[in-house]
Amino acid sequence: MCQVMSFIIHPATQRIRVHDVSGHAETYAHFRLKDTNRPNCYREGHYLPDGTVEVRTIDTDKHTGKELADYIKSKWPTFVKFWNAHAPRKISGDLNLHSLQGAEHLRLPESIGGDLYLHSLQGAEHLRLPESVGGGLDLGSLQSAEHLKLPESIGGWLYLGSLKSAKGLKLPESIGGNLYLDSLKSAEHLNLPKSIGGGLYLGSLSESERQKIRDKGFAVY
């Protein structure tokens, strides 16, 4: 798997194509293109959440990798602007935005078939999550549920390991895998889903509080 966001660009026309944001091979195949050593064929590139743009070219291409990267940065100065302009509305596999630290103006896909990693987000303000996530959802750095609106459906695990209070937390009715709430100091305000397919991790609660939740039929650790 390549880095997000992956794209291919024509070194002469500067046309950008994206099909799979996490890999070049799938994008080449989708558009029936090939990566060859002939001059001015589509080349691989990345626009990273930290703002870095990388483009690989060969000596006989019309523009160098730096020239193409500068062109992209001039037209889409931030990762979010580039993402919003080129990302597909649905992603069948995983989406790894692990290092993204802010979600202002970010338009995530309507649905994600695999896991969604947003581990570095410090707050949920401006965050608009997909309606459904088929795999797991990593929001491991959130310490508050303020502004957090979770997807209606999460097919895999949900990681909220840094959340210190359940105040304002509205969980989906069902979570297919484990639910990680390791840093909760109290079960106050905690309204659990109707079903959790895996374990419920509440390592910071007292044993008596964990036992009360076990008595409701949950596998608590």
Residue range 161-208, pLDDT digits in tens? 999 999 999 999 999 999 999 999 999 999 999 999 999 999 999 999
Q: Cis peptide before 5, with omega less than 30 degrees from 0?
A: yes
Last residue of a domain, which of 61, 82, 103? 82
Q: What is the pLDDT of residues 140-171, one digit of tens each?
A: 999 999 999 999 889 999 999 999 999 999 99
pLDDT number for residue 138: 98
- Average pLDDT over the chain reads 94
**Model pTM score:** 0.89
Helix, strand, or coil here: 158?
A: strand
Q: Which DSSP state fits 59?
A: T
> Is residue 202 located within the same domain as residue 167?
yes
Helix, strand, or coil here: 68?
A: helix
pLDDT number for residue 35: 83
> Is residue 67 located within the same domain as residue 155?
no
pLDDT number for residue 27: 94
Q: What is the mean pLDDT of residues 94-117?
A: 93
1 occurs within a structural domain: no
> Is residue 11 located within the same domain as residue 120?
no
Last residue of a domain, which of 46, 65, 82? 82
74 neighbors 38 (Cβ within 8 angstroms): no
CA nearest to 158, candidates 126, 128, 192: 192
- pLDDT score of 215 more than 60: yes
- Whole-angstrom Cα distance, residue 135 to residue 156? 4
**% of the chain residues with pLDDT over 90:** 91
pLDDT number for residue 2: 63
> Is residue 217 located within the same domain as residue 160?
yes
pLDDT number for residue 108: 95
The number of domains in the chain is 2
Last residue of a domain, which of 62, 82, 102? 82
Q: Which DSSP state fits 198?
A: S
pLDDT number for residue 209: 95
Q: What is the mean pLDDT of residues 53-72?
A: 97
- pLDDT score of 1 more than 60: no
| Torsion sign (Cα): 122, 125, 130, 134 | positive
pLDDT number for residue 153: 86
116 neighbors 135 (Cβ within 8 angstroms): yes
> Is residue 220 located within the same domain as residue 175?
yes
- pLDDT score of 34 more than 90: no
- Whole-angstrom Cα distance, residue 179 to residue 157? 6
> Is residue 147 located within the same domain as residue 202?
yes
